[in-house]
A and B are shown apart, each in its own frame.
Chain A
Amino acid sequence: MTDFGAAISTAFALVANLDSDLSEVVALSLQVSLSAVLIASIIGLPVGAALALFRFPGRTFLVIVLNAFMGLPPVVIGLIVYLLLSRAGPFGVLGLLFTPTAMIIAQVLLITPLIAALARQVMETLWLEYEEQLRSLGSTPLRSLGVLLRDGRYSLVTAVLAGFGRAIAEVGAVMIVGGNIDHVTRVMTTSIALEVSKGNLALALGLGIILVILSVLVNGLVYVLRGIHRQGVTP
């Protein structure tokens, strides 16, 4: 128990003092996951919108692939990216394995389907409501897409935040493709796994505390946005 108590107080001290090892790991985590969310949103939001609005060849196939990827465990996605990037793999020449870029790729694969699926849900509901009125007013498909993105913006931000939550909390995929190399590819989750196995509870706990704070912040943001959304908005 005293060990545990000591670990907690050390952990808080580490967080409070912004310990340099700790901040390095946190910074890399944020850098990797924010990049992944940015890329995944750029791909996922339009894909989700297109799936909701348009009927095109290959649409069903895309939906199936998205749903399948959404259900895959992160380690499997890590494995796929590993095979693709490994020396013998098709993209081996790029030398990306065990770099932050590899981790970003894995997280993009992990959360793009989630963001696309959530976006599609949001857009489909809105489109069901708006379609006839927009067509009646003479809106072009592109203009309609703009209206849906604008009017669904709060729900879409929620989808993006959900993607960020999944990316930052994920351990299996980044462990496999990043390799958890100190000062290079060590992020919060892989670091926690390592420190726990080494018995270094203080650092692990410190990181855990930061993850919890981040998670609370993100969820708080989602909650606030939902609130704004419900009340309606005035531009």
Chain B
Amino acid sequence: MMSADAPTILPLELNAVSLTLGDKRLIKDISCTLEAPQITIIIGPNGAGKSLLLRLCHGLLQPSAGAIDWRGAAGRNPSPHQAMVFQRPVLLRRSVQANIDFALSLRKVPRRRRRALIEEALTRAGLKRFAKSSARLLSFGEQQRLALARSWALRPQVLFLDEPTASIDPAATHVIEEVILAMREEGTKIIMSTHDLGQARRLADEVLFLHRGRLKEKSDAAAFFAAPKNDLAQAFLRGELLWWQRRELTPP
């Protein structure tokens, strides 16, 4: 059975989650609930803690305080129902199709079912002609599309993406956004960080605004982009808050 057919592990509940690495408090007291099936976009200046928050939610990092709960999991292991696409695509040193096949084998998808899933994912990401090429020889944008195709083949209930289009060209970005939207149509919950406000407007159903490790605002996308409630979020939308310092910003 694929993850998508199983009962959902959502909602995801964060309760007073903090993360301290060394002597630095990097995520501070974040509480929120993320529901199926919208696209949740995490925005915020560089160093706000977007990547750390995604890793915490995905279980790659453990919170120093607070709790992260998949309320729907009800005792089941939530990990096999999730997938993540990282800022820099990580591909194994084997062919394009073998990369997806490996991921499917880890999820115990029977061999006879894999071929169709691989073909479908590669077609979707526009990579079918590269199926037998070495994954490491693809361009950066193609590699990121492959990383997304690999996640898609897994049919996760929840997909995390950490600035997946940060360093790729508009055409590849377009393909990636299309796949993300298609996945949402199929019922996958998307939780994604981006620094690209245009992209956030195009994709978001819901926005989390992060600043210096704190969750400053959680709003519906339409409301957020019309008029954010938080002053820092307002500054961010105006393009005045490119780094996490409040430098030239005068507090209200």
Binding site for B on A (CB under 8 A): 129-130, 132-133, 135-139, 143, 147, 150-151, 231-235
Verify B134–A129 contact, CB threshold 8 A.
no
Verify B98–A232 contact, CB threshold 8 A.
no
Contacts of A130 in B (CB 8 A): 90, 92
Interface check B84, CB cutoff 8 A = yes
Main secondary structure of the interface of B (DSSP, over half): mixed
Verify B106–A143 contact, CB threshold 8 A.
yes
Verify B132–A137 contact, CB threshold 8 A.
no
Verify B60–A232 contact, CB threshold 8 A.
no
Verify B94–A136 contact, CB threshold 8 A.
no
Verify A132–B90 contact, CB threshold 8 A.
yes
* Contact (A132, B60) CB under 8 Å given A151-B92, A151-B93, A235-B95: yes
* Contact (A234, B79) CB under 8 Å given A132-B90, A133-B86: no
Contacts of B199 in A (CB 8 A): none
Question: Considering only CB atoms and an 8 Å cut-off, how many residues of chain B contact the other chain?
Answer: 24
Contacts of B84 in A (CB 8 A): 132-133, 136
Contacts of B32 in A (CB 8 A): none
Residue of A nearest to B150 (CB): A137
CA distance A137 to B58 in the complex (A): 11
Residue of B nearest to A138 (CB): B106
Verify B136–A136 contact, CB threshold 8 A.
no
Residue of B nearest to A126 (CB): B93
Residue of B nearest to A135 (CB): B60
CA distance A235 to B103 in the complex (A): 16
Verify B106–A132 contact, CB threshold 8 A.
no
Can you pick out 13 interface pairs between chain A and chain B where the beta carbons lie within 8 Å of each other? Answer: A130-B90, A132-B60, A132-B86, A132-B90, A136-B58, A137-B83, A137-B102, A138-B79, A150-B93, A151-B93, A232-B136, A234-B94, A234-B95
Interface check B223, CB cutoff 8 A = no
Interface check B137, CB cutoff 8 A = yes
Contacts of B82 in A (CB 8 A): 136
Residues 46-63 of chain B, each 1 if its beta carbon lies under 8 Å from chain A, else 0: 000000000100101000
Verify A136–B60 contact, CB threshold 8 A.
yes
Interface check B167, CB cutoff 8 A = no
Binding site for A on B (CB under 8 A): 55, 58, 60, 79-80, 82-84, 86, 90, 92-95, 98, 102-103, 106-107, 132-134, 136-137
* Contact (A137, B134) CB under 8 Å given A132-B86, A132-B90, A234-B95: no
**B66 → A minimal CB distance (Å):** 21
CA distance A132 to B137 in the complex (A): 21
Partner of A235, one of B79, B98, B137: B98
Residue of A nearest to B88 (CB): A129
Contacts of B80 in A (CB 8 A): 138
Verify A233–B106 contact, CB threshold 8 A.
no
Partner of A232, one of B93, B106, B107: B93
Between A129, A137, A138, A150, the greatest number of chain B beta carbons within 10 A of the residue's beta carbon is seen for A137
Residue of B nearest to A153 (CB): B93
CA distance A4 to B216 in the complex (A): 85
Contacts of A233 in B (CB 8 A): 93-94, 134
**B129 → A minimal CB distance (Å):** 14
List the 6 closest A-B pairs by CB distance, nearest first: A133-B90, A232-B134, A232-B136, A151-B93, A136-B84, A234-B134
